[in-house]
Structure 1
Amino acid sequence: MSEIRQFRLPDLLAQWPWPRVVNKHYEEIKPQFDEWVHAFEALDARSQRSFDQCNFALLGSLGYPLLDKECLLIACELMALFFFFDECTDKLEEDGVRACADAVMDAFRNPHKERPQGEPKPGEVTKQFWLHAIKHSSESAQRRFIKLFETYVYGVVEEAVDRGKGRIRGITDYLELRVRASGVCCSLFPAELGLDIPDEVMEHPAMKNFVDLTVYPLMLTNDLYSYNIEQAAMGHEASNLLTVVMKEEGVDLNGALDWFMKYNGEMFDKLLEQQRNLPSWGPDLDPDATAFVEGVARWMRGHDCWSFESQRYFGTEGPEIQKHRIVTLFPRSSGKTPMMSKPTA
């Protein structure tokens, strides 16, 4: 069997009806957001270059095109927090990742507390983000978000354990961990900014099912677009569902891509059906519930567009690859490739 050197990216969002829209405040907030990030002085030259190439102000603006200026800044700050946490933990073993996770969660629970000297940088980033976010989010949204973020950061601890052991999970176990460790559920928080949605809506089985179903297409696109980087960096192959599928199903890369398309189609059919069949919660609650669903739907489209319009996954070739969908695999190496940090949201 000849070695595969190129593959075609399937369009996992081909049936998603929401179009690309960019927030009208993008150009205005980008300098302010970039200044906020640089003030932490937390990134070395390589990490800062990677951050700049990612253009998280664009991600927030594509993902949440209907937010006002202040809430858009909060959305972008959340994207930066994901990056800082990822950069902090990507090179660490279990104990170091856990210390970083502990610092983040302490900052969420005690946002007015001065951060201790010497703690991981994401602690201070979390504090500043959260002090900003709590001004524009309901208490119930804050409570739900902190619970989800705790699940996320300690899921990343589990990933560090797997990485240290060289463990490649089976498909079911991998998906279960990635639901927790991807941060996808946390990335939906900006869709609640400025809204007041009680638990009776967000915990309703229909809404929970809708949110849960959105996680899978977002995880699949993350793993699809990051595969080339991860397969090239020794020690990170197990952090990608394509690798997991190839191992468990005994197929090559093209066979794994076929599996992706089939699984993604099944998830999208369920997701669109669930979205069409969400119930009414009455005239007082429906407007905010509808706005949240709209925000989640636009986040999915925006995240996909950003994957090609930034340099996160495909460097400067993103716009062309978006058109022709052909990816040439990087040679494998023992080192970390320039933008190797594992994408989350």
Structure 2
Amino acid sequence: SPSPTRFYLPDTMASWPWKTRTNPHADEVGGGDASSGHLSLLSESFSRLIQLVHSFDHLLVVSLFVLVIILVDDCTDTENADVARQTADLVNDAFEHSDQPRPAGEGPIGEIVRRFWQYAIGIISPKVQVAFLKHFGEFLESIVTQAGQRDEDVRLNVDTYLKLRRDNVGVMPFFPFLRPTSGPDLPEEIWESAVIAEMTGHIVDMYIFDNDTIFYGREYALGDTGHNIVTLLMQEYGIDVGSVAWATARHAAAQKAFKDGLERLPSHGAQADAQVKEYLNGLGYWIRAYHVWSFKIERYFDGRGDEVKVSRLVQLKPQ
């Protein structure tokens, strides 16, 4: 049968209770250092939608980080494993030695990362810094792994793909920035607890299923659909691209698990419980922000996001 020329994109977030809200500091960030250039507009437009980032400075950190992770992700998308390792090492070095100038002739990414981190460490707490670096380090390692799999044309099954994707999708480094900045400084054991890991995992899974289905049209046009849940579903289960019901069902299951989890959080005392709930509420707004942002930018739908959001039909352009 002929290949499909379009597919239906379900509205996975229709019943998500965390609705779109604009961060009150968004206009200040939009007028700051992050507001020039195409990638900067991407970062500003995303940070504008994130709730519960509590100050202009914190929101600017998030906005600048969007710029950093897009640059790193785009830079490593087509690199082989050796070059991806070099890029990861360079980025790690820029974080570790952010107080030192980068070597002459290195290229811009090291200096961009260095400046981002020099600004960020003056704003975010030491515990948030440690948590961020842990998650970002895992992200860098996972993209090196992905590059190696690309080199060897490794065919992943759905479960193996999802395990790797939870690291290389680049979501976890955002979440420490959403920790409340007021109230007592909670022990790291709470933030790293199995319950918080489970709850953040549901948000990450929602992101993966949304990202891969939303991004599929662009990857199809680039001839680079190998690392995408839609392709793997077609290969493993024979699911036609016109129906991503499996991914949509998994997205719905993750939503339900997150909402159910809010009703059975363990107690660590009134003040700690309030901070944890505020953080998880921030995750709810974060995933909503991503979903809205995906349709606002040219990156995914060539400027036709509003049209796709209404019709739910994504055209598949010839490779």
Structure 2 length-normalised TM: 0.92
Which of 57, 62, 66 is equivalent to 2:49?
62
Shift of 1:65: 5.8
Shift of 1:302: 0.7
Q: Measure the CA separation in 2 of the matches of 1:93 and 1:223.
A: 22
Shift of 1:230: 0.7
The aligned counterpart of 1:159 is 146
Cα deviation code 1:45-85 (max 9, x no counterpart): xxx65x26x62201011123653211111110010001111
Cα deviation code 1:287-337 (max 9, x no counterpart): 3322211211110101100111122211221112112211111111xxxxx
| Paired AA for residue 279 in structure 1 | P
Aligned residue for 2:48, secondary structure, equals helix
Aligned residue for 1:33, secondary structure, equals coil
What pairs with 1:1-345 in structure 2 (closer than 5 Å)? 1-34=1-34, 49=38, 51=39, 55-64=42-51, 66-192=53-179, 194=181, 196-234=185-223, 236-255=224-243, 257-332=244-319
Q: Measure the CA separation in 2 of the matches of 1:283 and 1:267.
A: 27
Cα deviation code 1:236-272 (max 9, x no counterpart): 21121100111111232134x0111122122222121
| Paired AA for residue 265 in structure 1 | A
Q: Measure the CA separation in 2 of the matches of 1:66 and 1:146.
A: 19
- CA distance 1:166–1:6, change in 2 (3 Å): same
Contact 2:175 2:283 in 1 (8 A): yes
Shift of 1:193: 6.4
Q: Which runs of 5+ in 2 are unaligned?
A: none
| Paired AA for residue 111 in structure 2 | E
Shift of 1:92: 1.9
Shift of 1:169: 1.0
Aligned residue for 2:303, secondary structure, equals helix
Cα deviation code 1:198-245 (max 9, x no counterpart): 2121122211211122110011111111100111222x2112110011
Cα deviation code 1:93-119 (max 9, x no counterpart): 111111111111122223212222233
- CA distance 1:16–1:197, change in 2 (3 Å): farther
Q: Measure the CA separation in 1 of the matches of 2:249 and 2:278.
A: 30
| Paired AA for residue 312 in structure 2 | R
Aligned residue for 1:169, secondary structure, equals coil
Shift of 1:137: 2.1
Contact 2:140 2:168 in 1 (8 A): yes
Q: Measure the CA separation in 2 of the matches of 1:119 and 1:28.
A: 32
- CA distance 1:141–1:60, change in 2 (3 Å): same
Q: Which runs of 5+ in 1 are unaligned?
A: 39-47, 333-345
Aligned residue for 1:266, secondary structure, equals helix
Contact 1:23 1:64 in 2 (8 A): yes
Contact 2:95 2:114 in 1 (8 A): yes
Contact 1:141 1:197 in 2 (8 A): no
- CA distance 1:67–1:323, change in 2 (3 Å): farther
% identical equivalent positions:
27
Q: Measure the CA separation in 1 of the matches of 2:148 and 2:133.
A: 23
Q: Measure the CA separation in 1 of the matches of 2:318 and 2:232.
A: 19
Q: Measure the CA separation in 1 of the matches of 2:21 and 2:263.
A: 22
Q: Measure the CA separation in 2 of the matches of 1:11 and 1:241.
A: 17
